[in-house]
Amino acid sequence: MPLAAARSSLAALKTHASLNAFTALHPAPALLARVEEAAGRVADGKAKSPLDGQLIAIKDNIATADGLPTGCASKMLEGYVSPFEATVVARLRQAGAVVMGKTNMDEFGMGSHSTHTPHGAVHNPLSPSLSAGGSSGGSAAAVAAGLCHAALGTDTGGSVRLPASYCGIVGFKPSYGLLSRWGVVAYANSLDTVGILSRTTAVARDVFSLLSAPDANDPTCVSAATRARVAARLAATRPPASVPLRIGLPAAYNLLELAPAARAAWVQTLTALAARGHKIVPVELPHTRHALAAYYTLAPAEASSNLARYDGLRYGARADRDHDEGGTLYAPTRHEGLGEEVRRRILLGAYSLSAGRLQNHFLQAQRVRAMVRKDFDNVFRARNELVGGEGAGKQGVDVVLVPTALGPAPERSAAGSGVGEYVNDVLTVPASLAGVPSISVPVPGAVDEEGNSVAVGVQVVAQWGDEESMWRVAAEVEDMGS
């Protein structure tokens, strides 16, 4: 029942305060009052949805209009309260969900360990010394510790899936354009996706079903007509539930840097799925090796444009000094208001967009992105109905199964920064560049070289809009431990 679950979560909040998962919370009495109201509906058989009365946490870069600040874990937006609410948050409220608070994150979504934040690093519930992943580390830690029923994050290049793998939970990035981005503070518009973190695939699916709908406020949100057309054509090519699937095994993900625990979990999962009758098919994704470089050209370029607005004049906090020594109006404001990692990516992006580098950097990365997407289109059975293309037909695969991270969660002290940190996204950015759905599911029984139990996830990646095939395989991976 919602009330018992809420009381358990609020008790866990006190026990796990040291996780530093939240930046702001509603008072416990106010939350319990809302849950009690929903519990009455549930008891009367009038529940608004499966989420009625459930506590949901929201990442700090998703706008809420209930008095909770939306600060993006940045001094630049410290204390900012949005006058409007993100579409995904409004839909959660309409479904009866209770928004409990805002979660800690890497500033403006830029990071892989949730350490680039003025609120202090997020701690992994599995061990305080381990990285919780990023940038949605606060949402992942809150879910893993039982502080909420589910949480929303954002995934630009793996920011939901990576922390999910590190914390041993489910992290889902939908097809680009299925969930509205209205009210989400932009990092890289063409890559940003609202993601879902939960302890089970069933809960993630419930949340997705409630949020996946057109939104006139977001021009990148797919229309109802397109959704219906794609769903009908995918249903016509998708194998029935009684028929085994073809699961792709791409050698491009078998990197030298892959930790033994991650490789063993990958092999274990593929072996278990084969034992259930599914056919494991080697596939080629030749441009995967270029995906990370393309991502870290495109994402900072979009970020440098998006974050130009935070100058203390139009948006954001203003530094005490109006001018620096050279007479520049807002240099002190941006230096004091934006963290080191954000400033680094702004500089990287501005360089890629400069007149002398546009052709060789930004436009070349766009070409690589198109090739990465085409690689996926060439191996999936279903065609990409959003952009066209033939697909591979009956010789193609229904999903691709790959590791989520290079290994288990690293020690936070050894997590690295700058380019060393960027490597953590190498296995998640291809799906982001292609805009296809991907879900990280923890592998039951994963162990390291010493035989110690560790949290390791595998990704199930499907064709654009084919979340149905993805859910089927994800649920089977989840069931391996039962």
pLDDT at 320: 78
What is the spatial distance between Cα 478 and Cα 131, in angstroms, rounded to a whole number?
23
Q: Which tens digits make up the pLDDT trace of 139-186? A: 999 999 999 999 999 999 999 999 999 999 999 999 999 999 999 999
Query: Per-residue pLDDT averaged across 68-83, rounded?
Result: 96
Residue 391 one-letter amino acid: G
CB under 8 A, 24+ apart: contacts of 227-230 = 227/178, 227/465, 229/385, 230/385, 230/386, 230/464, 230/465
Residue 51: the pLDDT is 98
With beta carbons less than 8 A apart as the criterion, state whether 430 and 343 touch: no
Q: Which two tokens stand for residue 153?
A: 């994050």
CB count in 10 Å sphere of residue 454: 23
**Residue 255 in tokens:** 């990197």
Active site residue 59: yes
For residue 453, indicate whether it is catalytic: no
The residue type of 224 is: A
Q: What is the mean pLDDT of the chain?
A: 94
Catalytic residue among 59, 102, 198, 432: 59
**What's the mean pLDDT in 58-82?**
96
- Determine phi and psi for 124, rounding to 5 degrees: -75, 130
List residues bridging with 9 in a β-sheet.
Answer: none
What is the pLDDT averaged over residues 8-31? 97
Q: In angstroms, rounded to a whole number, what is the distance separating the alpha carbons of residues 305 and 307?
A: 6
pLDDT at 281 over 70: yes
Query: Higher confidence at residue 294 or residue 326?
Result: 294
pTM above threshold 0.85: yes
pLDDT score, position 123:
98
Stretch 192-206: mean pLDDT: 98
Using CA atoms, how far residue 438 sits from 83, 159, 394, in Å, is: 32, 12, 22
**3-state SS class at 9:** helix
What pLDDT sits at residue 386? 86
What average pLDDT score do residues 124-134 get? 96
Residue 12: in which H helix or E strand, if any? helix 2-15
Q: Residue 315 pLDDT more than 90? A: no
| Residue 325 pLDDT greater than 70, yes or no | no
Average pLDDT over residues 71-87: 96
DSSP code per residue over 289-320:
GGHHHHHHHHHHHHHHHHGGGBSSSSBS---S
CA 227 to CA 221: how far, in whole Å? 10
Closest CA to 187 of 293, 122, 106: 106
Tokens of residue 216, six digits: 């006139």
pLDDT tens by residue, 384-399? 988 876 677 778 999 9
Percent of the chain at pLDDT above 90?
87
pLDDT at 327 over 80: no
Q: What is the pLDDT of residue 277?
A: 97
Identify the weakest region by mean pLDDT among 250-254, 312-316, 348-352: 312-316
Asked if 70 and 63 touch (Cβ cutoff 8 Å), the reply is yes
**Closest by Cα among 214, 177, 149, 188 to 9:** 149
Higher per-residue pLDDT: 474 or 315: 474
Which pLDDT tens digit goes with each residue over 421-479? 899 999 999 999 999 999 999 999 888 888 889 999 999 999 999 999 999 999 999 99
Cα dihedral: 322, 327, 332, 333 (round 10): 50
Binned at pLDDT 50, 70 and 90, residue 355 comes out as confident
User: Is 159 a known active-site residue?
Assistant: yes
Which whole-number Å values give the CA distances from 106 to 115, 118, 199, 341, in the listed order?
A: 6, 9, 22, 9
Choose the weakest-confidence range: 102-106, 146-150, 311-315, 378-382: 311-315
Average pLDDT over residues 283-302: 97
Record the tokens describing residue 88, joined without a space.
């995904």
Of the listed 112, 114, 131, 159, which one is catalytic?
159
Integer Cα distance of 387 and 380 in angstroms: 14
Of 135, 136, 180, 440, catalytic: 135
Residue 318's pLDDT band (cuts 50, 70, 90): confident
Flag whether pLDDT at 416 surpasses 70: no
pLDDT band at 316 (very low <50, low <70, confident <90, very high): confident
